[in-house]
Amino acid sequence: MKPEVLQRQDWPPVADAYIEKGVCYAFFAYETAFSIDLDRAEQRIHQTTQRESLPHKRRAPSYFEYQPAPLRVTQPVQPLSIAGLPTVATVDLVVYDFGAISVVYSIPISGPMAKLLALSDELYDNQLLLGDSRRRVEETLRVIGDAAVEARSADFVEDYVIFQIESLASPLTTDDLLAKHAQAIAQILRAEGAALSEQEAEDALAAKISFRTDDVAIIDWNAALLVDREGDDIRAVLEFANVELLEMRYLDHKLDRSLDQAYEALSKRSWRRVPLLRSYGADLRRVAQLQAESAILFEGVNNTLKLLGDQYLARVYRLASKRFHLEEWDASILRKLDTLKSIYEMISDQVTDRRMELLEWIIVILIAVSVAIELVHRMP
């Protein structure tokens, strides 16, 4: 739920810091299909398209890439006003092969850092961008057609905001920036107008990492602040982590429903007086399909981004993963997959038992029939 915020006129003053150049990126990730054939989708989309590759602003091995590379679609957009700041005239859609689509809006920022407080508050659950992004995703699904396998309504969404400051009017070291503006940065990351407690501010700023002395990335669960002239690679990692969180949430929800269906299939076996092997087979196929689809999606998401070649970006990803609790989501999903597997094995055991029982009855009936025939032949 969105935290309660004060009216903008009641916000506490922020220590002087003037942004010379920067961009705010608003990400909206949607779960849209079981999978998407990127090659076929690329052929059917007429806007400017390109296959995404992870930008390398720092030294990294050549094999550090997406597997497979997602498709980036650039669309024109009428600039939208957010907290008095217009978005740029284009919007990017990043299409992933495992069925997710991320919509990216860019908002140029400059002036006092205090502006970011109002912008952060306005972007929290922003209905204007949510509506526009959902409409674009649904239109993209309509265009690519059957290139999206098992396309579904874009109901699952995960948003994230990245404030990137490329330069300040008065250059500061990252240590000075955090020392002088810790409270303001924490409020921006948490979209909170009221002054935060010391513990809350420390928690908001806890996940930070620097590559050089003049850059820093501060990652929180709702937003991130980048002070970096070249932050494309970090943004790409954070965008993917946001998509991964979306997929973990969706898969966890799907597994909950799958477990309910599997429990229902298992429980109805106990009260059915006349066992039907055909219904057993249908339940087995349904549970096996649920198990296979969930496992395929889980592996597809976790194997898309290869970070083994770049130690710095790997640390960025670990920080984001910790902030988004991805390890806890993974553990929950694996536990539910194991539960689904055990239910499948129980139903399979019941099928085997019923078949053995049926064979025993058939043998008994055949013996009885042969005995009866023999007795009939011996009758005078």
Task: Give the pLDDT of residue 264.
Answer: 74
Query: Highest-confidence range of 18-32, 226-240, 277-291, by mean pLDDT?
Result: 18-32
Side chain identity, residue 13: P
Distance CA(334)–CA(321), nearest Å, equals: 17
Please say if the pLDDT value at position 116 is more than 80. Answer: yes
Structure tokens at 154: 């874009």
Task: Give the pLDDT of residue 29.
Answer: 96
In sequence order, the β-bridge partners of residue 164 are 23, 226
Side chain identity, residue 370: S
Mean pLDDT value across residues 230-248: 90
Q: What is the mean pLDDT of the chain?
A: 81
Distance CA(241)–CA(368), nearest Å, equals: 68
Task: Give the pLDDT of residue 8.
Answer: 40
Query: Highest-confidence range of 14-23, 55-64, 273-282, 366-375, by mean pLDDT?
Result: 366-375
Structure tokens at 255: 């597994």
Tell me which of 67 and 92 has the higher pLDDT: 92
Task: Give the pLDDT of residue 268.
Answer: 63
Q: How many helices and strands, by DSSP H and E, does the chain display?
A: 9, 13
Structure tokens at 237: 């990692």
Q: What is the pTM of this model?
A: 0.80
E runs forming strands in 39-99: 48-51, 71-76, 81-82, 85-86, 90-95
Long-range pairs for 213-221 at CB < 8 Å and ≥24 separation? 213/173, 213/174, 214/171, 214/173, 214/174, 215/174, 216/174, 216/177, 216/178, 217/316, 217/319, 218/185, 218/189, 219/316, 219/319, 219/320, 219/323, 220/189, 220/190, 220/323, 221/323, 221/324
Helix or strand (DSSP H, E) at 299: helix 277-302
Please say if the pLDDT value at position 63 is more than 50. Answer: no
Pairing relationship of beta strands 157-168 and 48-51 according to DSSP bridges: unpaired
Distance CA(76)–CA(48), nearest Å, equals: 10
Mean pLDDT value across residues 260-272: 64
Task: Give the pLDDT of residue 5.
Answer: 40
Tell me which of 38 and 62 has the higher pLDDT: 38
Lowest mean pLDDT among 56-65, 180-189, 344-353: 56-65
Query: In terms of Cα–Cα distance, which of 173, 171, 193, 175 is closest to 183?
Result: 193
pLDDT tens digit string along 321-380?
999 998 898 888 888 888 877 777 777 777 777 778 778 888 888 888 888 887 777 776
- Contact indicator for 212, 292 with CB cutoff of 8 Å: no
Task: Give the pLDDT of residue 86.
Answer: 94
Cis peptide, bond prior to residue 3, ω within 30 of zero:
no
Task: Give the pLDDT of residue 65.
Answer: 65
Side chain identity, residue 298: F
Mean pLDDT value across residues 9-17: 48
| Integer angstrom CA distances of residue 352 from 58, 287, 362 | 59, 16, 15
Distance CA(98)–CA(243), nearest Å, equals: 10
Task: Give the pLDDT of residue 331.
Answer: 86
Task: Give the pLDDT of residue 103.
Answer: 96
Please say if the pLDDT value at position 279 is more than 60. Answer: no
Helix-, strand-, coil-residue percentages of the chain, each rounded to 5: 50, 20, 30
Task: Band the pLDDT of 226: cuts 50, 70, 90.
Answer: very high
